[in-house]
Structure 1
Amino acid sequence: MLKKNNNQVSLRTGHLDDAESILTIQKEVVSENEFMISVLEEFDETTEQQRNWIRKILENERETIIVAEIEGEVIGLIVFRSKNTKRLAHTGYFTTMIKKDFRDMGIGKLLINKLLKWAQQNPYIEKVSLGVLSTNQRAIALYKSVGFIEEGRKIKEVKFSKDLYVDDILMYKLV
């Protein structure tokens, strides 16, 4: 486990009581407007909707949510969602979000490694995927460092302004 200011970072499966904390992190990260596809105005989930979202993930044996916490405070998360069609049920994709004050500590790597271990032990999952904006060089380096490979690119997929487009890089790892 990593430590920040002598406080130990722990990882665990998320639960319904994390809904408000997760929602706060999501809104914080989306509001930064740097590496997310959504903008804050589009993100209007309530705590109850968040609870229902978490419940659906926890009830699906092909999905998981893992949170990182320090002294009981949720400071980051990784969510793995699976495809619902029979021919894609062996795959899924993840999203990671970490509070700004807790980045560059290795928490993202801890979360990804925990997810990959879960995926390796899951009898259904064979391929873990993600999408990352081409401008997010730190995230791309992290994903490559744990074995993810670029498998494609959606050119000018995300439009930030009239003349600013960003590619969406698709990456994967077989488990």
Structure 2
Amino acid sequence: MSTINSNTKIYIRTGRLDDAEAVLAVQNSVISEGEYLITVTEEFNKTPAQQREWIKKLIENDRETLIVAEANGELVGWIVFLCQNRLRLAHTGSFGMMILKNYRGMGIGKMLLKALLEWAERNPLIEKVSLGVFSTNHRAISLYKSMGFVEEGRKIKEIKLNENEYVDDILMYKWV
């Protein structure tokens, strides 16, 4: 457990099946902001039952994980590591992270990412942790670089925000 300030205690732990609704609530909240995610509100309609099934599959897979952050008992963010089902890609996977807006800038993202990297380093099946990030998400890019991630490529104008606005998708990785 970490303390952000005298009123906020953060607890980082492995996600559980009974977190499904809270994980879904965070996901819905972050997607509704529409800023740094490929998924838009209109196309996201996962039910609590589907979320539970997704978490169940993560828990059952030795090469995947879900790690959550609680602030004073409330689930406020999470990070998920997903892998490919291909033999030649079995050593690698990528992550996504979501944190409620009111809890950003407090170090929770760094705590979640640190926990994920520690999990990956202990996991003999994982060698490379990857991610994709909007080129406009400067705070996230700064966090990833501070944790040892390096840019390995860029998909130019990969994400179309509206009729005349595009964003590059920066691909980053770290060997563990």
The question of a shared fold, defined as TM-score above 0.5 by the shorter chain, is answered with yes
Matching residue of 1:126: 127
Where do 1:32-51 residues align within 5 Å? 32-51=33-52
Matching residue of 1:155: 156
* 8 Å contact kept, 1:2–1:107: no
Q: TM-score, normalised by structure 1?
A: 0.98
Amino acid at match of 1:57: L
* CA shift for structure 1 position 4: 4.2
SS for the counterpart of 1:105 is coil
Unaligned residue ranges in structure 2 (runs of 5+): none
Aligned residue pair count: 175
Matching residue of 2:94: 93
Pick closer, same or farther for the CA change 1:5–1:101 going to 2, 3 Å: farther
* CA shift for structure 1 position 5: 4.8
Unaligned residue ranges in structure 1 (runs of 5+): none
Deviations 1:120-169 (A, max 9, x none): 00010000000000010000000000000000000000001110000000
Task: Report the identity percentage.
Answer: 60
Q: TM-score, normalised by structure 2?
A: 0.98
Counterpart CA distance in 1 for 2:82 and 2:13 is: 17
Matching residue of 1:83: 84
Matching residue of 1:60: 61
SS for the counterpart of 1:160 is strand
Counterpart CA distance in 2 for 1:157 and 1:138 is: 20
Counterpart CA distance in 2 for 1:51 and 1:4 is: 32
